[in-house]
Structure 1
């Protein structure tokens, strides 16, 4: 009988290492092989707790043995180990969707949760397998690190249940905190400061993208730890670090949204990863060329996942700067809106008037004053193709909950806090309700009737009214 191995990716994180441990609990006949280049915080953890854990090093494997089976966790890319053949069975266990067709003898098991550790831990719980406090701590580290301490959008209820189960079995949260917030070495701190100095913010398709470059010949520490710290500082939709290490360039990329698929970007440079985290080793290209190539790719491949136009409300009413507070109050009560765009003589937006500003003017008995005295001034608007992230930035920057949607010189509608809340409370991956209804109408209605409704909708919009259709099909 040949050997069975449990492998993960190089430069592995705690989710990869914890997934190896969890897989060993389920397949104790297999050997969890420590990657050759684990991150520094993992190395320090293993130095302290090595005797309590089942890992083996590559150099400890038999030199002439055959490998019958490989369990590959938290990655879908295999660095072929010694002894593997075309007959070797490979099982992928990963919380990322399958990215490619598999070769013969390969299989895949995975679901969309925050960490691969969660998938394996659920099977440990189902099978009544016990874990020690040290094992529980490592498993918790895997889930906490890959979910941003349970704050990333990919986090699920299953991840929360898993860390609760681990805490009940002795996971030491103080140790978890220490290793998640590991201090930087002097070499890492120097590179971190260089990356911050060069960091550029690029608004692409309504997303905030941060690109940073640096020269660091002779650098030997991992760069991924710096990516996490810079991401926490800027909170971008996508982060791309390009570091010149002398013999080659290293690209490290992170994303907080499926609309920025960093795995696809890294693949172009000969690397790999998944939607939220990826890396590439780049040869034969200088830093300036790689940066420009990266920016060109980002412009082509990044698109809003959900656009403002998909969630906005139509039939917006506008005010002129000369409208009095009393008149604005009557309009607000009549239509039930919490805010209105204020439009100048040329049709341009000059400000936003909200209920809060009207209430303040009325408390001072200034009903006869024009709204231009109280509105939030400025060209405050978003486009129908802008992302929800861009909308949130506008709302928080100006402290308003209603933002007009503009295309060219036309005000198409308004998007509100209520629209955002509806989006957040929709089931994951469910298309916005308005888009779904429009698609159903296109599929079910005869062409002439659909055209009539579109014309009626356009007329209602020009008049500032909402169009209602009653019936069924």
Structure 2
């Protein structure tokens, strides 16, 4: 028997990957997990008979010769299947977009790539081979891509994700059904939990990073917690969030993390807790340990190991282009054009910062026929500056709250650099 399996607690991307894998491996049988993620239950219930997934219990009587694994390369996440048969001679092929994780299957053939959705990888292979799919499977696959890319807003979204989405629409994917399937909360308890956690959030500044923590004790395990943390993450907009959920029966603790920054790598942070996932979306399950102790260890790890947040000094332009207060406005205008800049700090003959001049100031001077007047007659003298150690979040707030595009960086009373909106934009594209 040849089978297709995905990770335990199958989510939408896992199901979408299994559906497309069946086109690439038509003689393989898809096997369902004992757990289905709440976000996928509605879709699974609607398409249950179409999907035709067999129950894992049916593997007990079979000789499994080949296994295709999708959306994971971790043995612990497919253990429920492999416990049911002797896999010593089984050939394994993996389709997984978690490229930062090490494989627990050293002999396996691995297909991998940097895509927002695992379903995208299989969709590309269908496109390469001109394989047509049914409208139902196209809808399932498109739902998977929308779900795992956060409606194409996650940082790991690639042009390939858009390409396969177009491919699925070509084969009749129903966008109205997709919209219905990707709603955040499927269970009433998720909404109640969301409001309870929102009232107990703790913000901490760790090495310049604004991080939200939430600790919540529950009597027994519950599914759909990641959707709750994701929603809070989007609303509160921290640099990172960690939801720590402790269950009494059985005693275990789940850590769910989300990050916006490359230097808050969740894979590295949750690795000591046995976790995995993506650098900006990961989770971990810790068994037989008090929840508060897990929370303490997490906080300690972050305090000791988290890299310092990027500051003004890291992104500022040190070689600052300045103009003299005694130049005429016309001279400043020509200088701006030569340097292709939209503004510059104004200094006196001693080199001290005394003002700021922008293209808007020059345009106003031109309208008033003041181009022969000195810069100091038209410059802004109410200066907004910053220190070199403020964080990017603070810089962003200063620029936009004051409607300015140039922020001089001052150190010991002297201008050591400048930050522009272009500098900020380059940084935001990097994180």
TM-score category by the smaller chain? 0.7 to 0.9
Q: Matched residues in 1 for 2:233 and 2:208: separation? A: 18
Residues 206-255 of structure 1: CA deviation (Å, up to 9, x unaligned): 54432222223235232011122112212334221112222222111123
The DSSP-based 3-state class of the residue aligned with 1:245 is: strand
1:380 aligns with 2:386: yes
Provide the rounded CA distance (Å) in 1 between the counterparts of 2:403 and 2:380.
14
Distance 2:103 2:221 in 1: 36
CA distance in 2 between partners of 1:5 and 1:349 (Å): 71
- Is the 1:74–1:94 Cα contact (8 Å) retained in structure 2? yes
What is aligned with 1:149?
151
Aligned with residue 123 of structure 1, among 118, 121, 125: 125
Q: Retained in 1: the 8 A contact 2:242–2:257?
A: yes
Moved more, 357-366 or 203-212: 357-366
Match of 1:263 in 2: 267
Question: Kindly tell me: are residues 188 and 171 of structure 1, through their superposed partners in 2, closer, same or farther at Cα, counting changes over 3 Å?
Answer: same
Q: Distance in 1 between matches of 2:181 and 2:410?
A: 47
Among 81, 88, 91, which residue is 1:89 paired with? Answer: 91
Higher strand share: 2
- Which residue pairs with 1:17 in the alignment? 15
The aligned runs of 1:125-140 (5 Å cut-off) are: 125-140=127-142
CA distance in structure 2 between the aligned counterparts of 1:266 and 1:351, rounded to whole angstroms: 48
Q: Cα offset for 1:166?
A: 0.7
Q: Which runs of 5+ in 1 are unaligned?
A: 430-473
Bigger drift between 328-337 and 85-94 goes to 328-337
What's the TM-score, normalizing by structure 1? 0.75
Within-5 A mapping of 1:318-329: none
Q: Measure, in 1, the Cα distance between the counterparts of 2:126 and 2:276.
A: 29
TM superposition shift of 1:46: 1.1
- Residues 373, 416 of structure 1: CA spacing in aligned structure 2 closer, same or farther, 3 A cutoff? closer
Q: Which residue of 2 aligns with 1:74?
A: 71
8 Å CA contact retained: 2:254, 2:286 = yes
In 2, distance between residues paired with 1:154 and 1:288? 32
How far 1:35 moved relative to its partner?
A: 2.1
Residue 194 of structure 1 contacts residue 214 of structure 1 at CA under 8 Å; is this kept in 2?
no
Deviates more, 1:286-295 or 1:368-377: 368-377
Cα pair distance change 1:24/1:263, threshold 3 Å: same
Closer, same or farther in 2 for the Cα pair 1:295/1:379, shift >3 Å? Answer: farther
Change in Cα spacing, 1:234 to 1:359, as seen in structure 2 (3 Å) is farther
**CA shift for structure 1 position 339:** 4.1
Residues 116-160 of structure 1, C-alpha deviations (whole Å, 9 max, x = no match): 111101111222222111110110011111111112221111111
Q: Report the Cα distance in structure 1 between the residues aligned to 2:342 and 2:49, rounded to whole angstroms.
A: 63
> How far apart are the structure 2 equivalents of 1:266 and 1:373?
52
Q: Quick check: 2:329–2:374 contact (8 Å CA) kept in 1?
A: no
Measured against aligned partners, the alpha-carbon deviations of 1:143-188 in whole angstroms (never above 9, x if no partner) come to 1111111122211111111101111111111111111114443311
Question: Which residue is equivalent to 1:167?
Answer: 169
CA drift at 1:88: 2.2
Match of residue 316, structure 2, among 285, 294, 312: 312
Between the aligned partners of 2:253 and 2:384, the Cα distance in structure 1 is 44
Corresponding residue number in structure 2 for 1:403: 407
Contact 1:262 1:277 in 2 (8 A): yes
Task: Rate the CA distance shift 1:6–1:242 in 2: closer, same or farther, 3 A.
Answer: same
Among 236, 239, 258, the alignment partner of 2:238 is: 236
Which structure 2 residues correspond to residues 172-251 of structure 1 after superposition, within 5 A?
172-204=174-206, 207-218=209-220, 220-246=222-248, 247-251=251-255
CA 1:176–1:296 in structure 2 vs 1: closer, same or farther (change >3 Å)?
A: same
SS at match of 1:316: coil
Which residue of 1 is the match for residue 281 of structure 2? 277
The 8 Å contact of residues 266 and 273 in structure 1, kept in 2 or not, is answered as no
Secondary structure of 2:61 counterpart: coil
Q: Which residue does the alignment assign to 1:5?
A: 3
The alignment covers a number of residue pairs equal to: 417
Give per-residue Cα distances to partners, 1:312-342, cap 9 Å, x unaligned: 323226799xx79x97896676465544568
